[in-house]
Chain A
Amino acid sequence: MTLESEVEALRRVPLFRGIDATKLRLLAFISERTHFRDGEHLCNQGDQGDSAFIILEGTADVRVKTPEGERSVAQVGQHAIVGEIAILCDVPRTATLVALGDMDVLTVSKEDFLKLLKEFPEIALEVMRTLAQRLEKTTQDLAAIKAGQTAA
């Protein structure tokens, strides 16, 4: 696996779609490429988040602690970026990520990602856009739920 193939993968991550290849190569270069085996944890809920993960290959299970024990809430797959919230604001990990089968992951540390954002504001813009879209979606969901509640 080389930088080039990672850049290809990064290109497919929605967050980085509008960013040119050189900067993606830099991002790939400063990230650590890590291999996870089946059942290994990428991160644990409640830990201090110090990095984001970009999944190059494989799938991870997202698990959240509930009063009834740990529950799988979602799965994230190839080209997904997870844990970026932890990079942007100092919150503990909101979920545990467990590798389902072998995984290849790019790990970007918090400091490096922030440095990159400072260096290339267009990435920051793209991050803002993505976050805004998510917020928009969350707001809509919330509105829908509220509408449902009042309807009931």
Chain B
Amino acid sequence: MEKSLFKFIWKYSARQQLVILLITILSYPVGYILLELPKLITNEAIQGGAFPKEIFGFEFDQISYLVLLCFTFLGLVVVSNGIKLVLNVYKGRLGERMLRRLRFELFQRVLRFRLPHFKKVSSGEIIPMITSEVEDVGGFVGESIALPAYQGGTLAVQIGFIFMQNPLLGLAAISSYPLQAYVIPKLQRRVVLLSRERVKNVRAIADKVGESISGIAEIHSNDASAWHSTDLSDRLYANYLIRFKIYNWKYFIKFLNNFMNQLTPFFFYLIGGYLVIEGELSIGALLAVIAAYKDLAGPWKELLAYYQMVADVDVKYQTVVENFDPPDIYPVDRLTSDDAEPLAGEIVFQNVSFSGGAAGQEVFEVSLHIPDNTACAIIGPDGSGRSEVLQLAAGLLGPNSGRVEIGGKSLDKLPESVIGRQIAYVGPSVHIWTGTVRDNLFYGLRHRPLRPPERKGEAVAEHERLLGEARQTANPLHDGQAEWEDYAAAGVRDADQLDAQALDIVQKIGLASDIYRMGLQSRLDPAQNSSLAYRILTVRQILAKRVEEDKEVRGLVELWDIERFNNSATLVENLLFAAPEDPSISLDQVSSDPDVKAFLKETALDSRLQTIGLKIAETMVELFANLSSDSGLLGTYSFITQDELPEFERILRASRSENEKLGLTPADKDRLVGLAFKLIPARHRLGVLDDATKEEIVRARRSFHDRIYKNGGRFVVFDPERYVAPMTIEDNLLFGRPRVDRRDARERIDGLIRSIVEEMDLRLPITRAGFDFHVGVAGARLSSGQRRRLALARAFLKNAEITILDETAAGTSDEEKALRGVILDLLKGKTLLFGASNLIVAQEFAHSVVMDQGRVVEKAKC
């Protein structure tokens, strides 16, 4: 990468910089005439004589001459500002493009780092480099050549103007420049050094903060917050010292500069005044010179600021870029090549040695011949070199000496389009991407955009713009909106078949029941999957019938019935008999929804609900106020959290107050209604809801429904005949609530649902719906076993010729053993390298290699 900022700028924007320079030069004469005109106006038009004047064959008297000059002035003002506008827009765009190019280049370099390099760099350091540290560089690029050219030019024009009026005055105007030009760089040098230090300090802070976040459980479990707080505090102190020093130096430079600048007028007025008095200079000229002189300060200041900025930004650029140039970085081709040549055959290690930079990460002189289409176990404890051998075979590591070949091709030379598509690798620690189960399953099939979306009209132009910008900044031209799944690679024809394939695999590796449960908890868009929605409704009807016929079941569940109050559901569900269209909206938020508010007002239920809320608050405060905060009872049972308790005590006091002003505010009332909304009568048994109110609530449902039908959107009505999109699939199946006052009602109803789902052959479609389950940040909503199996399913879906598994299903438990059987069965006729630490596992494989301390100690048919 270009080591210096100016090299980077010149390499990628020379043409644009020249355009900027050209426009800037064009603006010089305009600027000069703009300075000259006022003098002409005062001297010639206002004070001058000898009229009429003849210009281009036209005669002008004094007034029309004045008008002509003034309009010329006006015209030039417009032209000069127009140029400035065009220039600034051009510069801004160039700067943003260069920033994009730089950031992308940096990220691509991260992708090109070899794996061992990541042992030396941390994401906490890399992230601020790409995001914040280079930001100033982008802002600077547009200015880099234009600003000194423009401001330097302006300065030169103005100094030239002063010189033309009087050389002596000119000398006076620039008298302090040599001194400044000598002193300031010396001072600036110190600032540059401090800036470097500051950048590194901030990086260390970012890294420490990042590390604290990822190790937060360790901090708490070891009472190490004081340690980390102190560590960070010390770094912040260092940061403070550096920043304050920089500030002082910068301010000192500014001060020195201002001081010298203000010394100049001393010479200026002295010499200028003397010349006027002596009659060697006209007063008009002096006035214009003074005007020009005043304008000198601006460009000079800008130039100085520019100089300081160059120093600052160049340091930032260099301190960033030096981190992205490791000597052994992969060539760009490795990432961008789209060669998909087949990769199959014998896996051969020829005297392969590798050193990961620490003991236990080494491999010495390993030679192996693993015939293709066989399963081979690589056995060895952690630190034996097993993992390194497997990563070498997967092309993730490159050997320090020797060769790793598959089918006669050296892996180190092959691009990722070959290695990453023909080899499936699941390592000891898997990464699950933030997204849905489906995103993760098909991750190994998304190499290039394959089926672009159909675009029409404005969308085509919009896409063209996007591509145009990408070309300008050396970004990839891939279509992010296209479908990327490579059906052919997976051996299927279309999306349905791919889903079917995925279902088959998750069933085989024992993830299906987990995904089925995710499916039950997920939400379905009935518009997109109407047949499944319809079948779910069928199950709902069968269930309803079962409930009606079977007294035993009837006692366990309260179904949604628009004519009846559901004691096992919250008051708000009972009242609205609808759910917010956006399932992420909480009950608290519903109470401040405008439609809900208007409806409560109309039905006069709002004051009723406030009273209920007040009674609940009263009971909660009475029951829980005397408890110690650490009893834990409050959190588990109360409607109110410990933190909210004082707030509700205040609301209670306010409600008792006679004084209007001290009474309940509208926000308090909303809170009380929100509290009442959470009430589940059968669970909470507070006795605040009498039968009459329940009946009233049931009656009010219809009027709320009329309102939302009229106003449209935001709520979806519970309709037994329709699929209710905001409800989970499970809630849609049951369309009711297990009774909270019956023991194990939930479990028994779940069992019933499961059996009907089985009967109706819905298990697979619901599992498929579970593919849309969002796994949370980096799979946080999955258990570690689920994450591992998901990664395994992903590897199988790739349908690769060679599969490499390390520490996956490598245990000795029956479950793992069974999974191993499934894996071997799935990969029959393909090549499998299976890494395990336990020797017993080797017995299940025809071929095996045993590693110890980086060396092969035993080989069977390899």
Contact = CB atoms under 8 A, between A and B. Distances in A.
Interface stretch (A34-42, A125-133, A135-143): A34-42
A119 B685 contact: no
B637 A30 contact: yes
Contact of A34 (B626, B632, B743): B743
A42 B743 CA distance: 8
A3 B685 contact: yes
B555 interface: yes
A1 interface: yes
B685 A2 contact: yes
B279 interface: no
B155 to A, nearest CB: 79
Given A33-B741, A34-B743, A3 B687 contact: yes
B221 interface: no
Nearest to B551: A37
A107 B624 CA distance: 20
B628 interface: yes
Interface string B635-670: 011000000000000000000000000000000000
- Report the interface size class on chain B: 20 to 34
B685 A115 contact: no
B631 interface: yes
Nearest to B688: A2
A118 interface: yes
Given A40-B743, A112-B636, A2 B622 contact: no
Interface stretch (A21-29, A63-71, A77-85): A21-29
B15 interface: no
Nearest to B740: A32
A86 B623 CA distance: 26
Given A26-B623, A34-B741, A2 B636 contact: no
B277 interface: no
A4 interface: yes
A22 B743 contact: no
User: Among A25, A26, A107, which residue has the most Cβ atoms of chain B within 10 A?
Assistant: A26
A23 to B, nearest CB: 9
A119 B741 contact: no
Nearest to B681: A2
Interface in B601-649: 619, 622-624, 626-628, 631-633, 636-637
Contact of A22 (B622, B633, B740): B622
Contact of A33 (B627, B631, B633, B685): B685
Nearest to A2: B687
B741 A30 contact: no
Contacts of B743: 34, 36, 40, 42, 107
A52 B627 CA distance: 22
B565 to A, nearest CB: 15
Nearest to B627: A119
Nearest to A25: B623
Contacts of B187: none
A119 B623 contact: no
A32 B744 CA distance: 12
Contacts of A26: 623-624, 627, 633
Contacts of A118: 631
A124 interface: no
A35 B741 contact: yes
Contacts of B186: none
A13 interface: no
A140 B684 CA distance: 43
A100 interface: no
B631 A115 contact: yes
A137 to B, nearest CB: 31
B742 interface: yes
A6 interface: yes
Given A2-B685, A34-B742, A35-B742, A115 B637 contact: no
A96 B792 CA distance: 46
B637 A37 contact: no
Contacts of A37: 552, 555
A3 B740 CA distance: 16
B633 A1 contact: no
The number of chain A residues touching the other chain, given as a range, is 20 to 34
B686 interface: yes
A29 B623 contact: yes
Contacts of B636: 30, 112
B685 A1 contact: yes
Contacts of B682: 33
Contacts of A115: 631-633
A112 B742 CA distance: 19
A21 B471 CA distance: 77
Contacts of B623: 22, 25-26, 29
A1 B691 CA distance: 12
Interface in B114-148: none
A34 B746 CA distance: 13
A4 B686 CA distance: 8
Given A25-B623, A119-B627, A2 B686 contact: yes
A25 B620 CA distance: 11
A29 B688 CA distance: 13
Interface string B345-361: 00000000000000000
Contacts of B637: 29-30, 112
A88 interface: no
Nearest to B552: A37
Contacts of A32: 683, 740-741
Which residue, B623, B684, B739, has most C-beta atoms of chain A within 10 A? B623
A35 B556 CA distance: 10
Contact of B686 (A3, A30, A42): A3
A80 B156 CA distance: 103
B276 to A, nearest CB: 95
A49 to B, nearest CB: 15
A9 interface: no
A34 B741 CA distance: 4
B555 A6 contact: no
A63 B713 CA distance: 57
Nearest to A116: B633
A42 B742 CA distance: 11
Given A2-B685, A3-B686, A119 B742 contact: no
Nearest to A112: B633
Contacts of A28: 685
Contacts of B555: 35, 37
Contacts of B741: 32-35
Interface in A85-115: 107, 112, 115
B354 to A, nearest CB: 53
Contacts of A2: 685-687
A42 B636 CA distance: 23
B720 to A, nearest CB: 26
A107 B740 CA distance: 12
Interface in B676-697: 682-687
A47 to B, nearest CB: 13
Contacts of A116: 633
A36 B637 CA distance: 23
Contact of A119 (B633, B739, B740): B633
Contacts of A30: 633, 636-637
Interface in B684-734: 684-687
Q: Which of B552, B683, B684, B743 has the most CB of A within 10 A?
A: B743
A89 to B, nearest CB: 21
A77 B150 CA distance: 98
Given A26-B633, A33-B685, A119-B628, 7 more contacts: A2-B686, A2-B687, A29-B619, A30-B633, A30-B636, A34-B741, A42-B743
18 contacts: A1-B685, A2-B686, A3-B685, A3-B687, A22-B626, A25-B619, A26-B623, A26-B627, A29-B623, A29-B686, A32-B740, A34-B741, A36-B743, A37-B552, A37-B555, A112-B633, A112-B637, A119-B628
Interface of B: 552, 555, 619, 622-624, 626-628, 631-633, 636-637, 682-687, 739-743
9 smallest CB-CB distances across A and B, nearest first, come from: A2-B687, A26-B623, A30-B637, A34-B743, A119-B631, A35-B741, A3-B685, A115-B631, A115-B633
